[in-house]
Amino acid sequence: MTLSDLLGEPSPGRTAQLLEPRPERSELLDEYSKREIRRACLTAVAVPGYQVPFGSREMPVARGWGSGGLQVTLGVLGDDDTVKVIDQGEDAGVNAANLRRLIRDTTGVATTTDSREATVVQTRHRVPEDEMTDEQVLVLQVPVPEPLRGVERDMAELARMHAEADYSKMWVSLYEDVVRNGVITRTTGYPCLVGGRYVIATTPIPRWDVPKLHQSRHLSLFGAGREKRIYAVPPHTDVEPLTFDDVPFEVERTPGACCRLCGAGSPGQPESFLVEVPQLDGPSTWVCSDSDWCMRRRGIEPLSEPAFDDEPHDADEEGF
């Protein structure tokens, strides 16, 4: 497909082509809609951090379940792409498995669980632990794209605040947080200034993942289906967490915690984002949230084309 195919107006020949029955598989989006999404993505890349409105379509997954991420993924996918889908860092989660199945069955592209092989990674709540490359696109599912909603509800006022880069209410709220609590208590989706201009909600990715967006080699596309917005962090763009000179930005870290499967976080080992596994008869244990990264560290090679009837991440054995 050429660029003019992507951007041009529909010609009669193209219309006729679209009218042709395509019995091989049923697509979730018509070509016009995909083009609209690609245009919104291009605008988003051109204006980093700006929330571009788009005519979000209804997807076969409910709004709030990744309908925005799915539209962006379908919009940017080409035939040669390889897709990975994770939810909470994991490939085998039910919603990730469902989205991966939908994408594979309706586009025919290859899928993988290996972060290094994927060209498009669709994710909910995490960024893979492996550093992504300039040949990869990260598509983040966004439940709440508006970073300022906690301090302002009126949409007209929000539009003004972004337009004038008036983030004073956000700064006041962070200041009050420090005064009242001694720390900034923002948890996930930490507000960040992109390219020195727009404040974005970093979806609910943990603070641990926020530095991975800063001056990254990969493109990050944020799709909010329910709220009908797409925004982007292009490669090599500043992503600065909002904080004060004398209040350091803190990522999630629990002293002494390490992955009980691969040992990440223990002395001499690399660190990863860990999730807690409460135990009935003792203190909590911890495991990596990025199951693919964790398995590779243990010498379990993932399958490039996952056979879904197999069990790529055997949870029973690991006691999840």
Partner 1 sequence: MGYAAAKGGLDAIRAAEELVRRKRVAAPSPWLEVDQLLDRQRLAVDRVMGEGGLWAPELAARALRQAEGDVIEASHLVRSHRSTLPRFAYADAVDADEMTILRRIVPAFRNPPGPQLLGRTVDYTGRLLDPMPEDQAREAAAEAAVAVAEAPPEVAPDAVEPDPARRRPRRLYELLRDMDLMVDRRRDDDPEPADITRTPARPGAPRSALLATMARAETGALVQLWYRNILGPDRHLHEVTLGEVRHGELPVRVAHPTTGEAVTLGRIRATEVEAIEDLDGIDEEVDRFDVGYGLCMGHNERKAIAMANLDIAVHRDQGRGPLEQSVLQTTDGLDASGFLEHLKLPHYVTFRSMIERKQARRDVKAAMVRGDDADLGKDCR
Query: String of b and e for 4-24 (b: at least 16 CB within 10 Å)?
Result: eeeeeeeeeeeeeeeeeeeee
Smallest gap, in angstroms, from Cβ of residue 135 to partner 1? 26
Closest to partner 1 by CB, 3 vs 307, is 307
3-state helix, strand, coil in the chain (%, to 5): 30, 20, 55
**CB-based contact 200:49 (threshold 8 Å):** yes
What is d(CA 231, CA 242) in angstroms, rounded to the nearest whole number?
18
Closest to partner 1 by CB, 202 vs 237, is 202
Phi/psi of residue 179, each to 5°? -65, -45
3: buried, middle or exposed (CB in 10 Å: 19+, 13-18, 0-12)? exposed
Smallest gap, in angstroms, from Cβ of residue 196 to partner 1? 26
Closest to partner 1 by CB, 217 vs 298, is 298
Catalytic, 49? Answer yes
Smallest gap, in angstroms, from Cβ of residue 175 to partner 1? 9
Exactly one of 41, 49, 93, 223 is catalytic; which is it? Answer: 49
Restricting to residues 53-72, name those near partner 1 by CB under 8 A: 53-60, 62-65, 67
Which listed residue (11, 133, 168, 185) binds partner 1 by CB under 8 A?
185
Helix (H, G, I), strand (E, B) or coil at 276: strand
Q: Please report the DSSP string for 40-64 in residue order.
A: HHHHHHHSTT--EE--PPP-SS-TT
Restricting to residues 23-52, name those near partner 1 by CB under 8 A: 26-33, 36
Restricting to residues 292-311, name those near partner 1 by CB under 8 A: 308-311
Which listed residue (182, 256, 268, 283) binds partner 1 by CB under 8 A?
182
**CB-based contact 122:141 (threshold 8 Å):** yes
Which listed residue (206, 223, 234, 241) binds partner 1 by CB under 8 A?
206
* 18 interacts with partner 1 by CB under 8 A: yes
Which listed residue (183, 197, 215, 270) binds partner 1 by CB under 8 A?
183
- The β-bridge partners of 121 are 84, 138
Which listed residue (1, 3, 16, 179) binds partner 1 by CB under 8 A?
179
Restricting to residues 132-171, name those near partner 1 by CB under 8 A: 143, 153-156, 159
Catalytic, 288? Answer yes
Chain centroid to Cα 253, Å, comes to 21
Restricting to residues 232-261, name those near partner 1 by CB under 8 A: 246-247, 250, 252-254
Catalytic residues: 49, 258, 262, 288, 294
